[in-house]
Amino acid sequence: MGDTADGLQPVPEPSLDEQIAVYQREFQDLDPQVEKVVSALSRLNRRMNVAYGRQTAALGISNAEWEVLKALVISGAPYRMGPSELAKQLGLTPAAMTHRIDRMTAEGLVTRERDESNRVRVIVELTAGGRSKWLDAMRAATIFEEDLLQDLSTEERGVLGDMLTRLLDRVEDLQSRN
């Protein structure tokens, strides 16, 4: 018996267009143009996360930890944020944030201390080591990202960034009105 043992084909991974063609057969009122955009977005993101994951793993941190480092750097000097603030930005529950900060503190990437001027609050602060890890990850990431966009001209990059920003505004708008 050959490759296809009756019920199960190998199916390595259907191409985007194949996938959409099947969807159209199964679900008539589907706009293939819309579906192509959202399917590509979703696949692209999964692939990119895999790529980032490999890079951060090579640096001895996890993708999750890199997210925290990024948020702290983005907050600007002196690189301090509260756990719930971090949690909100990363889309996590405060409980998960507590655990992540535990781990990152143990690894020396951040410090955690009580805010003495308001003892309910906790201040998470980036350490020099954490900042240096961020830099390393950033260098690797930008190389990958430049590589990813290499086939797009400068104009195309601008157009793409603009359209994605508009989608982002739109989805934030949709979500704020519940």
110 binds DNA (CB under 7 A): no
CA 63/CA 175 separation, integer angstroms: 26
102 binds a second copy (CB under 8 A): no
Asked whether 52 and 63 are in contact (CB, 8 A), the reply is yes
Question: 13 burial class (0-12, 13-18, 19+ CB within 10 angstroms)?
Answer: exposed
Q: From the list a second copy, DNA, none, which binds 59 (C-beta under 5 to 8 Å, kind-based)?
A: none
Q: From the list a second copy, DNA, none, which binds 143 (C-beta under 5 to 8 Å, kind-based)?
A: none
Nearer to a second copy, 107 or 125 (CB): 125
Q: From the CB of 103, what's the least distance to a second copy, in Å?
A: 22
Residues of span 119-158 touching DNA by CB under 7 A: 119-122
59 binds DNA (CB under 7 A): no
Q: From the CB of 100, what's the least distance to a second copy, in Å?
A: 17
